[in-house]
Structures are given as C-alpha cells and as structure tokens.
C-alpha cells in the first residue's frame, strides 16, 4: 500500500482522574466527538488512571480487560487510536508495564510499546520513582497507519535520543506524556522539537493537563504536533482539556529530507567506537 499523502492526526489533551471508569467514559466521548475527522487519535500517558503510584498500580489490568473496556468505543469511531501509558499486568510474576497500546479501526491490537525509561526525580517531597511501580520495557516498537510508519514513545523516553534514533526511518513518532509544570515549562517543547529535527520526522505529542485530584500536581499540557523542520504546527492550551487535529503532509516530510539529507549523512552508528 502506498502511503497516504496526508494523515489526519488527532491529539487529545486530558486531565485524567484516579478513576478508571470515569476516564474510560471520557475517552469514549472524545472518540465520538472526533469521529470522521481523524485517521489516528493519540491519548496521553496515564489516560485511564492518573494518581499516586499506589493508585496506578492497583489499577493495573490485563491486556484483555483493557480491550474489553475500550474496543467498542474505538470500533464505533472507525479510527485508529494510541492509548499511552496504560498499566498492564504482564506475566505470572505480577510485573506491571507502562504500555502504549495501539488499536486499529476495528478495535484490535496492532502494536504495544512498553515504556523503556522509567522516570526518577529527586526533589524532596516532590520526588518520583516509577521503578517502584513498573518494570521497564526493552524494545522499540512501530506500527503503520495509512501507510505511514510511526514509532512509539512515552514521556521520560523523550530525554533519551538513542531510542528516537532507532525510529529515524519513521515518518512520525508519537510521544504520550504526563509532564509536570516544572519540567514541562523548562524542557517539553525544546525536547519535542529536537527529536523532530534530529530524525526529520513529524512528532505528535499528547500530554496531561490540569491539577490532578489525588497528587495535586499541575500537569503541563501543551500537547502539540511538530513538523520535520522543527516547527510547531499546532499546540493545545496548557491548562484545559482540548484536542487538536492536524493533517500531516508527506510532501513536507520528503522536502525536508531532500533539502538537508542529514539521515543519509550519519557517520556513527550505535555500537561503533
């Protein structure tokens, strides 16, 4: 299948609560509202449960149970969807993975990426350690939508360009996130634009917003789509639930790569001295 010249991306910015059923219902509302407007809809990290670590861990479910909760809404919308940062029970050892799960337009799983880099912040009372909640993933993951090759990443992964370099042949990379105000204000946009520029691809980034009911953390929001030249094509307001729909353009992607053939000029490869 030849890639579509344009791909319609919907990036949803949510203020998820600690209540899974409530969040699942809101996801259904977003999918219904965007029906017919998008080929792919991207939801943020912790889309189904955002709260303290103990709350997230207790909300962990199997992949089958996750599918039962969201498959009907996705299938009814007729759009593909990325659900970033879902706590999934994995195996018999009770390990929980922070999984980004991609469903096709019929509600079937086409890809799953388990977050590789687990967030740690040493900041006194505001410290965070995701290694106390999750086991890390190990593998970069891609999928296709309308012939476009798309890589998956989650939040803290954004700070590790070696993962994104593995996605360099991709047309677009998705980053689902839950940046706080402090780290987001300092680093969010510059990291997204850097990853787009380095790999000469689109980056679609969906973030959490608002003040969380349980942690009281202010989430940064500012969900956005960045083009291969590093320009912000569209950006959501920082403090409100909203969505942006962008038609990303293959001609723009090819023009950037032809104008400045950086990917062809790579001299050092992973593992080389």
CATH number at residue 210: 3.60.110.10
6 given a catalytic annotation: no
8 A C-beta contact, residue 88 and residue 60: yes
The mean pLDDT of the chain is: 95
Q: Is the pLDDT of residue 272 over 80?
A: no
Among residues 20, 123, 42, 28, the alpha carbon closest in space to that of 77 is found at: 28
Domain residues for the domain of 23 are 7-265
Has residue 271 been placed in a domain? no
Has residue 198 been placed in a domain? yes
Has residue 174 been placed in a domain? yes
Residues in the chain: 273
Has residue 272 been placed in a domain? no
Has residue 254 been placed in a domain? yes
45 given a catalytic annotation: yes
Has residue 56 been placed in a domain? yes
Distant-in-sequence, close-in-space partners of 192: CB < 8 Å, separation ≥ 6: 158, 175, 203, 205, 224, 226
- More confident: 123 or 81: 81
Strand order in the sheet with 6-13: 109-114, 95-103, 80-90, 40-43, 6-13, 242-249
Among the listed residues 155, 170, 201, 209, the single catalytic one is 155
Among the listed residues 38, 45, 49, 145, the single catalytic one is 45
Q: Is the pLDDT of residue 126 over 70?
A: no
Kindly state the average pLDDT of the residues 143-171. Answer: 98
Has residue 270 been placed in a domain? no
State how many domains the chain has. Answer: 1
Has residue 146 been placed in a domain? yes
**Confidence class for position 271, pLDDT limits 50, 70, 90:** low
Among the listed residues 20, 49, 115, 130, the single catalytic one is 115
- pLDDT above 70 covers a percentage of the chain that reads 97
């Amino acid at each position: 299948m030849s890639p579509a010249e344009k791909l319609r991306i919907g990036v949803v910015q949510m203020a998820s609560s600690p209540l899974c059923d409530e969040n699942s219902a809101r996801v259904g509302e977003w999918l219904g509202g965007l029906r017919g407007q998008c080929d792919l809809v991207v939801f943020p990290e912790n889309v189904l449960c955002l709260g303290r670590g103990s709350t997230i861990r207790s909300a962990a479910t199997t992949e089958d149970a996750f599918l039962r909760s969201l498959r009907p809404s996705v299938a009814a919308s007729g759009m593909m969807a990325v659900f970033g940062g879902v706590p999934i029970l994995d195996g018999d050892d009770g390990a929980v993975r922070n999984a980004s799960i991609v469903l096709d337009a019929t509600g079937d799983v086409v890809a799953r990426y388990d977050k590789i880099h687990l967030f740690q912040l040493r900041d006194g009372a505001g410290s965070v350690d995701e290694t106390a909640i999750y086991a890390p993933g190990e593998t970069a993951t891609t999928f296709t939508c309308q012939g476009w090759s798309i890589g998956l990443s989650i939040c803290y992964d954004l700070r590790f360009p070696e993962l994104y370099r593995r996605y360099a042949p991709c047309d677009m990379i998705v980053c689902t996130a839950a940046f706080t105000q402090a780290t987001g204000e300092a680093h969010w946009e510059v990291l997204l634009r850097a990853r787009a520029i380095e790999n000469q691809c689109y980056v679609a980034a969906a973030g959490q917003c608002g003040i969380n009911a349980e942690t009281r953390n202010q989430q940064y929001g500012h969900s956005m789509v960045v083009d291969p030249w590093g320009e912000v094509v569209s950006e959501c307001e920082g403090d409100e639930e909203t969505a942006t729909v962008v038609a990303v353009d293959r001609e723009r992607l090819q023009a950037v790569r032809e104008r400045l053939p950086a990917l062809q000029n790579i001299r050092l490869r992973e593992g080389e001295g």
